Chain A
Amino acid sequence: MWEQIRSNQTRTLILVAAMGLLLLLLGYFLGEALFGSGIGGLVVAILIWVIMNLFAYFQGDSLILSISRARKISRDDHPRLYNIVEEMKIASGLEKVPDIYIIDDPSLNAFAVGRDPSRASVAITSGLLERLNRDELQGVMAHEISHIKNRDVLLMTFCSVLLGTIVLLAWFAARMMLFGGMRGGGSRRSSGGGGGYATLIIIAVAIVLLIVAPIAAQLIYYAISRRREYLADASGALYTRYPEGLASALEKIAGSTQELKTANKAFAPMYIINPFRDKGRAASDLTSTHPPVSERVRILRSMAGGASLAAYDKAYHEVSRSGKGVIPSSALVGAAAVAARKPEAAEAVPEKVERVRETSDLLWKYSDYGLVNCECGTKLRVPPKFRGDSIRCPHCGRTNTIPARRKSTG
């Protein structure tokens, strides 16, 4: 069943092929128009594409994580988050627990990176970590791990490189045409008669492609991204057996007006929610990387006690009133009906105040602050530059020894 989700996404494949074709067409006609060699144009286009791909493949994830200023955490730093990610790793059958990163940012978002499941990472903002209860956090992590499991990270990196190459090519070509003049701009080839006519057609096609290709590629890119979001929501519900967790997390996230400062446009499809979303956009918007949140929530809540991919597909039909499903039919064959489970007991999760404290302790620790718990119940934060072995509690006057601090990571 799982392999099929990956391999039989025919519509995704067609869309990717269409983008590739656009790149080749653009390369060929620009080559013809600018230096009289379509093949030369193709070679240049493919060369740029290959170089960008190699970079994205080998450096993409570390680049994104460092741009986002994400910090890697270990099991002891936040046992609950680590446990939840491990639970989802088990449920999805990944080989390895992804590395977990925290972004010190009050906005609510999360994302996954990593070109293959054995080298993947998930990241979450401290704001989101504070706001979500255990079930919601599980839903978000299930969504992110689905992106890893379904190879969406690889697919979307591939697509954004394709898109980037098309945009780059069009941008350069437009400048060359404006300032450099066109080959066969009437003077050199006009004596050829029929040849001049053919050149004109080629130039016309090149100009049309120049304008249309980046826009078309962008729309295709958004379409692919939206499909993968639905699929990740569906797999997330399947892994957790609890669609409500993700639904209520999405609601909380959508209700926030904080913007993620370090978000990156090229990388928007990997976030759980589009970090560049505008409020009050039309539901059928073609220019968004994510389906509207209200629709995602409604689908998840219409699953009527089921948690299988089939239940999600059915709910999608009901909510969107579209004839086409969102899950490839091959993934639905032979799948058993799956019932949703009951929510986690509320007491198994600390209250919001506790969660905020927990997260801020974690962030202080990563800023190299030491923590001393005084017997009177006061928490003392020791600044990184503090010299000395003991510190006096300002409340009760006890002298506390400072434990040896660990070396900071990253």
Chain B
Amino acid sequence: MSVGIIVLIVVLVVLFLFLGFIWMSYNGLVRLRNQVKNAWAQIDVQLKRRHDLIPNLVETVKGYAKYERETFEAVTNARNLAQKAVGTGVGSQAKAEGELSGALSRLLAVVEKYPDLKANTNYLALQEELTSTENKISFSRQHYNDSVLTYNNKTQMVPSNIIAGMFGFKTGEFFEVTVAAEKEVPKVSFT
């Protein structure tokens, strides 16, 4: 076998491996990016569910606690703002949701003054829904951040970062909790 053929074979093998590497990395990146997108959609589903629950909650509480108008208004306003913030980007949406959580926790603090309300079966069912929705929001946020971390690692680490640069894969943004109130809030406590 002549040297030329050997060189040709080596070049072909290297080229093949290189193309294989690009192919695998590219697909891996696409899969992770889709996972991030999907995780974000999950947060949206839960946030929407929370927005839908709030009017219900306000109505139920209103029946028992008539003199807390300011609190109701604050919650309703925060909810409307949060609803408007849907789709405006990770950062601003996180901020609006944080404010809503703050208002919601003040409403739930009000409930503590009304023992009759706390015994209402309608309210108890609503309370379980609310607790669970808050949990689902934080779990979907947790899953989203986990997915972003995996994706960002892949786009920044050698060697897949080369492929990420070539095809313009941008790093994802974490869903950070911006408002201090949100950090303590979603615990629904009534005593």
Contacts and interface: CB of A to CB of B under 8 A. Distances in A.
Q: What band does the interface of chain A fall in when counting residues whose beta carbon is under 8 Å from B?
A: 20 to 34
A309 B127 CA distance: 32
A384 interface: no
B62 to A, nearest CB: 21
Contacts, number: 65
A83 interface: yes
B188 interface: yes
Nearest to B125: A79
B149 interface: yes
Contact of B142 (A91, A334, A345, A348): A91
Nearest to B150: A1
B2 interface: no
Q: What is the predominant secondary structure among interface residues of chain B facing chain A?
A: helix
Contacts of B131: 134, 344, 348
Given A87-B136, A90-B139, A348 B150 contact: no
B69 to A, nearest CB: 26
Given A83-B132, A345-B187, A348-B188, A90 B127 contact: no
B88 interface: no
Nearest to A84: B132
A86 interface: yes
Contacts of B140: 90-91
Contact of A80 (B128, B136, B157): B128
Q: What is the predominant secondary structure among interface residues of chain A facing chain B?
A: helix
B149 A87 contact: no
Contacts of B139: 87-88, 90-91, 239
Contacts of A83: 128-129, 132, 135-136
Contact of B190 (A80, A344, A347): A347
A123 B116 CA distance: 36
B101 interface: no
Interface residues of B, number: 28
B147 A93 contact: yes
Contacts of B146: 1, 93
A79 B188 contact: no
A336 interface: yes
A93 B125 contact: no
Contacts of A350: 124
Contacts of A84: 132
Interface of A: 1-2, 79-80, 83-84, 86-88, 90-93, 134, 239, 241, 334-336, 342, 344-345, 347-348, 350
Given A91-B143, A348-B128, 16 more contacts: A1-B146, A79-B125, A83-B132, A83-B135, A86-B132, A87-B132, A90-B143, A91-B140, A93-B39, A93-B146, A134-B131, A334-B150, A334-B157, A344-B187, A347-B191, A348-B127
The 6 closest A-B pairs by CB, nearest first: A83-B132, A91-B139, A345-B189, A90-B139, A348-B131, A347-B190
